[in-house]
Amino acid sequence: MDLQPAILAGSLLILLACSLAGCQTPMNGAVRGVPGQSPDAEAAAVPRGAETGQPPSRKAPASVHPDPAQISALLDAAEEAMDNGRLLSPASESALLLYDRVLSLDPQNQTALRGLESIAQHFLDQALEAAGKRQFEQARAMLGQARLVDPQHPGIGPTAEQIELLSSARRKFIPLDGALLKDRDPTLLETLRPAGTASRRPGCRAVIHARSDSEGRWLYQQMSRSDSSERIRANVEISWPPGIEVLCFVAAPSP
């Protein structure tokens, strides 16, 4: 059994939820956790095209002959902005604006196109992280930012599907007595074994909320003793209060 630490719990839940519901998994990109850019600041920033919901035209006028030196300088500045977390703001110094300037001169510039894709992927990662924490408004705001940056990004559709999947999941939280859990009291089995059975139902799984990794492993072992040869579908999240959360997706039976 491979139990992941709490920082990965949201991502694991999303991936496992999708495997149960049959949805796609978005592509992972190059930009993650860019320093100096908080999700709240990102959601508040207004990228180009926000007034109409559409990105600007990147078709260069027929009379324009791209200057390689100018394009190189813009790409260098954009890379520096990315390294310093200036993805969208301040707008006049953002990587987004600099890549757009390159594309206004050279619409097929692959470095600039990949840069926009990386910025969009960053927001998709933020959206999935928020969805894993049940912050669905924030998740949709981050998804909207990704759409404005790169509407054709292949991860937008799968990410939107996963957000809606998690937001519509039926949830049942079963609290556990902390003192009994500390003593590994056998009376807890009356609660844990039915929870294990529920997590085995088609389209369902469990999130084990434990105060430590060892506590989470013990809970997992007790849930696994329910009457079935099938392995339970569960992951551990280090959190308070302790308990078992059973989630059922799509048309799965209620927990």
Q: Which of 167, 200, 219 is the last residue of a domain?
A: 167
Specify the 3-state DSSP secondary structure of 109.
coil
209 plus 238 within the same structural domain: yes
Residue among 142, 162, 120 at smallest CA distance from 40: 142
Please give the tally of structural domains in the chain.
Answer: 2
Cis peptide before 68 (omega within 30 of 0): no
Residue among 186, 183, 241, 182 at smallest CA distance from 208: 241
> Does 57 reside within a domain?
yes
56 plus 136 within the same structural domain: yes
82 plus 127 within the same structural domain: yes
177 plus 199 within the same structural domain: yes
Residue among 122, 121, 141 at smallest CA distance from 131: 141
Residues 6 or more apart whose CB falls under 8 angstroms from that of 82 comprise 31, 34, 95, 115, 118, 119
**pLDDT at position 64:** 59
> Does 106 reside within a domain?
yes
38 plus 145 within the same structural domain: yes
Q: What is the pLDDT of residues 5-21, one digit of tens each?
A: 433 444 545 554 555 55
102 plus 123 within the same structural domain: yes
Residues of the domain holding 216: 6-13+169-248
CA angle 60/144/123 to nearest 5° reads 90
185 plus 127 within the same structural domain: no
Amino acid at 159: T
Q: What is the pLDDT of residues 55-67, one digit of tens each?
A: 544 444 533 578 8
Residue among 109, 98, 2, 1 at smallest CA distance from 48: 98
Residue among 97, 175, 162 at smallest CA distance from 136: 162
Q: Which of 167, 191, 212 is the last residue of a domain?
A: 167
Model confidence at 232: pLDDT above 60: yes
* Burial environment of residue 47 by CB neighbours within 10 A (0 to 12, 13 to 18, 19 or more): buried
Q: Which of 167, 189, 206 is the last residue of a domain?
A: 167
Model confidence at 198: pLDDT above 60: yes
99 plus 219 within the same structural domain: no
